[in-house]
Structure 1
Amino acid sequence: MGQLMGFLNIERKNQKERSPLERVNDWNEYKEAMTEEGARKQAARCMDCGTPYCQVGVTLNRGTSGCPIHNLIPEWNDLVYRGLWKEAYERLAKTNNFPEFTSKACPAPCEGSCTAGFVSDPVSIKSIERAIIDRAFDEGWVVPKPPLRRTGKKVAVIGSGPAGLACADQLNKIGHQVTVFERSDRPGGLLMYGIPSMKIEKDVVDRRIRLLEEEGVTFKTGVDVGKDITAAELKKSFDAVVLCTGAVKHRELPIEGRDLQGIAPAMDYLTASNRHLLYNEPLESDLDACGKRVIVIGGGDTGEDCVATAIRQGCKSVVQFGKHGRLPDRRTEGNPWPEHPNVFSVDYAYEEAEELFGKDPREYYVETDKFTGDENGHVTGLTTGSFKKIEDGRAEQKKWDADLVLIAIGFRGAEDRLFGDFDIEKDPSGRVILADERSYQTSREGIFAAGDARRGATLIVWAIEEGRKAAASVDLYLDGKHSLLKS
């Protein structure tokens, strides 16, 4: 694979990023595509490992190691290195339904377990993946491929995020008639409304939806299953139903002052911003960061996206609270390869904040105690303690000014009402309980569940893998065949 000793002799490079001070003035994607020559050079760093850990896709120490959809990474790296781009796309598409999404929104656990990373820097897998799929669309290799025959079986997929789209795509490929129900006005789920355009521009999502429609998948938007159509009606009209609703019930922060105006869940804020950009809808004052002192509570990716969005809306300042400490600059003994590397990094939003405001917006070990407001019932600030106690055991107290507070402390699983209509149980974490984990079937015959609704909020690649596996089980249930089953 690649060049002998290439992983040592060739410096790792990722795709270029636009200047922070330039990109904060628009909502376009902040990363630029890698050149053909750049991608071939980076692919040359892929080594001929005996076991390519980049594609194993397992959970180690509560983190994802390798690619959950088992992308054939060494194979398409070698094809890129040799200039065989169409063949590289064909290998990529064999395991990944939507490389244009994963190459932009996935945190690349494949790179964290890359064997080259054990002795050097890992291969720039994510950048090469994007180069392949960009080339495929530019060359016209990605075209509708409707199935040659129809089985006569009908499947309803509830939810059009990555899991729902992958499930629908797989089932449609082998001839089942698939209808995707989406309660929002546009398909795509979090790809459309939850992820900012700086990561995935929305015409990229629309392009894939059009391809699926041309292949025969039907999308029904603005349909709230359980309200506009009942579970009984679906079971009567379809041979199987797959619940891919995501895990969008946000975690709350039930402390003093939570009912003040100007405090909002992160996903409400991101959705409002995306809708504003798509339809030029006016933003509610309490969901607009322009001229405001913004505090984001929660240290994860959703919180980071809130930071980047607030910057583009013209915030006066922005701070992000995390309950954990700063990550180390290098792996610790308790975080060995091939586990996902829990190390410090300055991602896109933090780089932008540093350029604009002169410092990284992240604060560590912060515990929010209460919100304070004015006589009109609007938030004006908050009081925090520290998860890290000082010598006498007390927590250090601090007051912060804020005009907009965004809560991004995670999700509590799938929403209740829909699953109550299907009479399906969830565990204490809000995840759908399956009768059989291998089959993805719930306790109700013919009703399946996949994605974040079953697994809990996680990575886009896990969602796609869940959708693919659920589709295989649905096909086996309908036709008794193993057409889609993976070993």
Structure 2
Amino acid sequence: MPNRMLKFVNLEQRTPTKRSAPERREDFDEIYDRFDPDSAADQAGRCSQCGVPFCQVHCPVQNNIPDWLMLTAEGRLEEAYEVSQATNNFPEICGRICPQDRLCEGNCVIEQAGHGTVTIGQVEKYITDTAWEEGWVKPASPSQERGESIGIVGAGPGGMAAAEQLRRKGYQVTIYDRYDRAGGLMIYGIPNFKLEKEVVERRSQLIADAGVTFRMNFEVGRDASLADLRAQHDAVLLATGVYKARDVQLPGAGLQNVFPALDYLITSNRKGLGDEVPAFDDGTLDAQGRDVVVVGGGDTAMDCVRTAVRQGATSVKCLYRRDRKNMPGSQREVANAEEEGVEFVWLAAPEAFDGRDNTVEEVRAVRMHLGVADATGRQTPQPVEGSSFTLKADMVIKALGFDPEDLPVLFDAPELAVTNWGTVRVDHRTMMSNLDGVFAAGDIMRGASLVVWAIRDGRDAAASIDSYLKAKAETPAVMAAE
């Protein structure tokens, strides 16, 4: 075993320097500095090189984490990058936004042994950022071109990962997306302090440089039906994501200044990208000087509260019906939010949004306690009788999760089968829908989930599409031989 490894015995866990909370409240820049080469090598060298690497087992894309940690510890960064990108189309993005505390790092063997996890995400980010600077990142270059054409609906992580994989095999790929920039929620949903937009844009450009065609501002159902795309392409992949905001049926939910989370985040991200955004410029979706209450406990809620802080909100509170331990969002994000001045109101749920002149002024809430476990094993929140209280609020953001849009209606494709939850029904062995040659990947197939799962689904769908098209090409030859 290389003597550069197993440093966890005498070397403590360390992350790159994190900018102070007062400093980072003033801008949207990423909050962590970058590892220097020596620190990256030392921290990578803490890996115990497990015989059964639970970090890899719990990584959705099955990254060969111990291998690229060892290569980093030995200073062989170009090789480390090649290993890292072999299983992941967006390693520097996953290094920034994956909830490592719930995935690879949370299952690190030395973390379980009490030594503190290897800082896998920050090393992954360091490897790939270095690769970009050194020119090691190259567009896919197929050894031979194939004539088959594939249309992909959605330029998010699932769609772009599939496009790159298919392009490597020589297919002619077109991505359709209703927004004006590629990236999906990576560009418009996730704030800059977690993922700076140039990181996404250079990946999109890399995929375009590989020969993938992007058709932006293109809406299936408006500019073409699903049937039109099926007629034009040999296979179609649906990777639209899920954008329909879940809502609460409460008194006052329709008041002014009560907004869905995605409306708020898209507005903020567009402003950061330099777009003209009337809803921000006129103050409608700007939190400056306001008392903000965010309802919800996932990563989207964390994005909202931390954005409101940076916009200069007077106060920011997060209202969540369970306790901290049962929060679905990353605990690392909760800690960052607390450092930046966000107040968490645990075990509390909204009862109504009250106000005058059609404008919200306060949130009426009730205390909750956790009762018996439901079918998922989580304790069910129950209201505490007589425990109502109010929170001052002249801006409320509902971050309650996302559901699929009605694709059969939206795409003018009533023949497309969906599940009871509205996701596209697929054969999970092939990822094909009930329509021949139409596949699905990412959130529109599995429900709202993580970027890294969308990448995994996109790669799997690309492999299935490749098998489908090759089998289809061989069929006429077999029939002719017979």
Is TM > 0.5 for Structure 1 vs Structure 2?
yes
Contact 2:226/2:412 (8 A) holds in 1: no
CA distance in 2, matches of 1:90, 1:48: 19
The CA deviation at 1:393 is 5.6
Other structure's SS at 2:459 match: helix
Q: 1:291 to 1:477 in 2, by over 3 A?
A: same
For 1:294-348, what per-residue CA distance to the aligned partner results, in whole angstroms no more than 9, with x for missing partners?
Answer: 000001111011011111111110000111112299xxxxxxxxxx999787432
Contact 2:156/2:241 (8 A) holds in 1: yes
Alignment of 1:229-268 (within 5 A): 229-268=224-263
Q: 1:227 to 1:200 in 2, by over 3 A?
A: same
| From 171, 190, 196, the counterpart of 1:176 | 171
Aligned to 2:479: none
> Partner amino acid for 2:351?
D
| From 364, 387, 393, the counterpart of 1:402 | 393
| CA RMSD across the alignment | 2.3
Contact 1:261/1:286 (8 A) holds in 2: no
The CA deviation at 1:430 is 2.5
Pairing 1:347–2:335 present: yes
Aligned to 1:479: 470
For 1:127-154, what per-residue CA distance to the aligned partner results, in whole angstroms no more than 9, with x for missing partners?
Answer: 1101100110111101223223211000
Other structure's SS at 2:15 match: coil
Other structure's SS at 1:165 match: helix
The CA deviation at 1:83 is 0.7
The CA deviation at 1:413 is 2.9
Q: 1:395 to 1:126 in 2, by over 3 A?
A: farther
Contact 1:146/1:214 (8 A) holds in 2: no
The CA deviation at 1:48 is 2.5
Contact 2:242/2:448 (8 A) holds in 1: yes
> Partner amino acid for 1:373?
G
> Partner amino acid for 2:418?
K
CA distance in 2, matches of 1:407, 1:392: 20
Aligned to 2:415: 423
CA distance in 1, matches of 2:406, 2:91: 28
CA distance in 1, matches of 2:109, 2:466: 36
The CA deviation at 1:17 is 1.4
Q: 1:235 to 1:255 in 2, by over 3 A?
A: same
CA distance in 2, matches of 1:392, 1:314: 33
Alignment of 1:150-169 (within 5 A): 150-169=145-164
Pairing 1:219–2:214 present: yes
Alignment of 1:187-226 (within 5 A): 187-226=182-221
Contact 1:425/1:433 (8 A) holds in 2: yes
If the length of structure 1 is used for normalisation, what is the TM-score?
A: 0.89
Aligned to 2:93: 101
Q: 1:465 to 1:328 in 2, by over 3 A?
A: closer
> Partner amino acid for 1:310?
A
Aligned to 2:269: 274
Alignment of 1:41-190 (within 5 A): 41-56=42-57, 66-108=58-100, 109-119=103-113, 120-190=115-185
CA distance in 2, matches of 1:285, 1:50: 56
Contact 1:389/1:396 (8 A) holds in 2: no
Other structure's SS at 1:384 match: strand
> Partner amino acid for 1:45?
R
Contact 2:290/2:393 (8 A) holds in 1: yes
Pick which of 141-150 and 33-42 moved more.
141-150
The CA deviation at 1:95 is 0.5
Aligned to 1:455: 446
Aligned to 1:295: 293
Pairing 1:385–2:380 present: no
Pairing 1:411–2:405 present: no
The CA deviation at 1:21 is 1.0
CA distance in 2, matches of 1:272, 1:194: 9
> Partner amino acid for 2:43?
Q
Contact 2:6/2:45 (8 A) holds in 1: no
Pairing 1:440–2:436 present: no
CA distance in 2, matches of 1:131, 1:344: 19
CA distance in 2, matches of 1:473, 1:18: 44
Pick which of 295-304 and 8-17 moved more.
8-17
The CA deviation at 1:36 is 0.7
The CA deviation at 1:5 is 4.3
Other structure's SS at 2:294 match: strand
Structure 1 portions without partners, runs of 5+: 57-65, 330-339, 354-359, 482-487
For 1:210-260, what per-residue CA distance to the aligned partner results, in whole angstroms no more than 9, with x for missing partners?
Answer: 111111000010001111111121111100000000111111011101111
Other structure's SS at 2:445 match: helix
For 1:147-188, what per-residue CA distance to the aligned partner results, in whole angstroms no more than 9, with x for missing partners?
Answer: 232110000000011101101110011000000001001111
Contact 2:149/2:172 (8 A) holds in 1: yes
Other structure's SS at 2:143 match: coil
> Partner amino acid for 2:305?
V
> Partner amino acid for 1:476?
S
Other structure's SS at 2:351 match: strand
Other structure's SS at 2:340 match: helix
Contact 1:328/1:344 (8 A) holds in 2: no
The CA deviation at 1:401 is 1.2
The CA deviation at 1:419 is 5.3
Other structure's SS at 2:353 match: strand
Q: 1:262 to 1:393 in 2, by over 3 A?
A: closer
CA distance in 2, matches of 1:247, 1:425: 16
Other structure's SS at 2:350 match: strand
Structure 2 portions without partners, runs of 5+: 372-381, 473-482
Aligned to 2:376: none
The CA deviation at 1:410 is 1.0
Contact 1:414/1:432 (8 A) holds in 2: no
The CA deviation at 1:86 is 0.6
Q: How many aligned positions are there?
A: 455
Q: 1:398 to 1:420 in 2, by over 3 A?
A: farther
Aligned to 2:378: none
Alignment of 1:308-319 (within 5 A): 308-319=306-317
CA distance in 2, matches of 1:344, 1:210: 31
CA distance in 1, matches of 2:356, 2:69: 58
| From 321, 340, 346, the counterpart of 1:364 | 346
CA distance in 2, matches of 1:328, 1:4: 35
The CA deviation at 1:280 is 4.2
